[in-house]
Amino acid sequence: MVDVPRVPEQWRPASGNTPGARTEGHPPEVQASRFSVLGPVRAWHGTDQLQTGSPQQRALLAALLLREGRTATASELIDALWGEEPPSQALAAVRTYASRLRKVLPPDVLVSESGGYSIQVADGALDLALAEDLWAAAEKARGVGDLCQARTLLNKALALWDGEPLAGVPGPYAETQRTRLDEWRLQLIESRLDMDLEVGCHAEAVSELTALTAAHPLRERLRELLMLALYRSGRQAEALAVYADTRRLLADELGVDPRPGLKELQQRILQADPALAEFSAPSPEPTAKLVRPAQLPATVPDFTGRASFVGELSDILSAAEGRVMAVSALAGIGGVGKTTLAVHVAHVARAHFPDGQLYVDLQGAGARSAEPETVLGAFLRALGTADSAIPDSLEERAALYRSVLDGRRVLVVLDNARDVPPRSGRCSPAWRAARPWSPAGCAWSTWRARTWSTWT
């Protein structure tokens, strides 16, 4: 069975609890800021690298960045920086570090709220978040058989690492996250190497796997891949020697035997199993069926009046091109005809969206609004994604949604939203999850979508 890399749970906010995390609607100063944690902790504003201060100050910045917009209390930050033995003036030190960071960072980036702090990061502006999106897109491409694209995306994700994660950052929290990030990187490498062998690049993989097994001698998955690469390169004896060396090492260091999968591979190599020599040919195009949803409710056949609204809104929805996403909103009290007008305009503009139209009632007027994960899951199914390929977490579903919409013109109608429009910068979780974010800074995703919404 193929080991699927998983994003460490530390970076998965709880469902429906992602205030300010990776959304649009940020002020320009926030959108112009970029950050890195997959190496030294660094910050940029535009093209200028910012001075993030002392190691302890960078530790505070890293702790906030890894929360992806969620507020960290002062006590949580003290634990992150010093653990169980904080200095007597720890709270004052945290406030001092935050004050210094606020002077260095652009306005509106470091926010104080509820006795704590948060860092507002635009979509695609944190290297870790970008790596997560690339990984999710790679899994989607692999799921539909496009191994070439999946390998390319994983290589892009791995290229974001710039040495040791959180390099030079002190504190128990940073040490824990460094271990998690290192482990995730190894899982991504194993996944990419597994695909290398699937497409027949076994000879090229041997040298990389040899170096990796030397650096991580107790990692059995790497040794299993090395054995398979050697065998497919016509080096059966060397493949068996790797197994013998692994067995001796595990017995000497840990007093255990190799895992069953490694034993089974050794037996298959001894028996020259013909199936071991088989690998998949690269697939240049995904094999998933392209689905064009048509979910708009029926329009009123004798719709009259509001001709100026209909004309203006239809022009807005159909005019934007390229990566520009047209967003229109209707606000008003219940019963004045917002939904009727929105649906009518959507039917008028639907010809400009040949790849389909999506519709959802966000239940904003009810006691319980639609859950973001549910909205995204329904949209993904409507766009042709199999249930087995839809991930569990909100962030992974959002990343997959962006990937599925890549290069497509889709009209999305979000009806009956509870909160204020996105131009205010404070959007409900349902709005943030359902609207098709534009992946700024991600060259691999250039889809075009339009969103239409009504508010009660």
What digits encode the pLDDT tens for the residues 129-185?
999 999 999 999 888 888 889 999 999 999 999 999 999 999 999 999 999 999 999
pLDDT at 383 over 90: no
User: Is residue 212 located within the same domain as residue 331?
Assistant: no
**Same-domain check for residues 264 and 162:** yes
Residues 108 and 135 in one domain: no
Shared-domain flag, residues 15 and 108: yes
Whether 356 maps to a domain, the answer reads: yes
Predicted confidence at residue 360, as pLDDT, reads 81
Residues 320, 446 within the same domain: yes
Residue type, 357: Q
Is 441 a member of any domain? yes
241 in the same domain as 142 = yes
Q: Are residues 133 and 266 in the same domain?
A: yes
pLDDT of residue 26: 59
141 and 37 part of one domain? no
Sign of CA dihedral 141, 358, 372, 177: positive
Domain end call among 119, 154, 175: 119
Query: How far is 309 from 331, CA to CA, in rounded Å?
Result: 13
Pair (132, 260) in one structural domain? yes
Which residue, chain included where needed, has tokens 């994604």? Answer: 385
3 inside domain: no
Angstrom distance (rounded) from CA 433 to CA 428: 9
Q: Give how many domains the chain has, as a whole number.
A: 3
421: helix, strand or coil: coil
Domain assignment of residue 297, yes or no: no
Name the amino acid, one letter, at 37.
Answer: V
DSSP conformation class of 300: P
For the segment 1-55, what is each residue's pLDDT rounded down to a tens digit? Answer: 344 444 443 333 333 333 333 444 555 656 678 999 999 999 998 888 999 999 9
Mean of pLDDT values over 311-321: 64
The residue range of the domain holding 230 is: 127-277
Please tell me the predicted confidence (pLDDT) of residue 217.
93
DSSP per residue, 19-47? TTSS-S---HHHHTEEEE-SSB-EEEETT
pLDDT in tens, 247-305: 999 999 999 999 998 999 999 999 998 888 876 554 444 444 567 888 778 776 666 66
**Within this chain, do residues 250 and 132 fall inside the same structural domain, yes or no?**
yes
Q: How far apart are CA 66 and CA 397, in angstroms?
A: 19
- The per-residue pLDDT for 365 is 66
Instruction: Return the pLDDT at 343.
Output: 74
Do 140 and 269 fall into the same domain?
yes
Q: Write down which residue in 119, 144, 175 finishes a domain.
A: 119
Interhelix angle 172-198/127-143, nearest 10 degrees: 30
Per the domain annotation, does 298 fall within a domain?
Answer: no
* CATH code of the domain covering residue 398: 3.40.50.300
Q: Comparing C-alpha atoms, which of 30, 112, 37, 25 is closest to residue 71? A: 112
- pTM, rounded to two decimals: 0.57
More confident residue, 426 or 448: 426
Instruction: Give residue 307's pLDDT.
Output: 65
- What are 200's two structure tokens? 């027949």
Q: For the chain, percent helix, then strand, then coil, each to nearest 5?
A: 50, 10, 40
Q: Is residue 386 part of a domain?
A: yes
Which tokens belong to 118?
């948060």
As given in the structure block, the two tokens for residue 71 are 């507020």
Query: Using 50, 70 and 90 to split pLDDT, how confident is the model at 336?
Result: low
Residue 68 belongs to a domain with what CATH number?
1.10.10.10
> Which helix (H) or strand (E) element contains residue 357?
strand 357-361
pLDDT beyond 60 at 81: yes
Residue 176 contacts residue 81 (beta carbons within 8 Å): no
CA-wise closest residue to 262 among 228, 237, 230, 235: 228
Would you say residue 437 has pLDDT above 80? no
Q: How far is CA 251 from the centre of its chain?
A: 39
Percent of the chain with pLDDT over 90: 41
List, in sequence order, every residue forming a beta bridge with 110; answer none if it has no partner: 119
Whether residue 339 lies inside any domain: the answer is yes
When mean pLDDT is compared over 108-112, 201-205, 264-268, 297-301, the highest value belongs to: 264-268
Evaluate whether residue 185 is within a structural domain: yes
Please check whether residues 337 and 379 belong to one and the same domain.
Answer: yes
Average pLDDT over residues 349-357: 78
Longest CA span, the chain: 84
Higher-confidence position of 211 and 316: 211
Identify the domain boundary among 68, 84, 119: 119
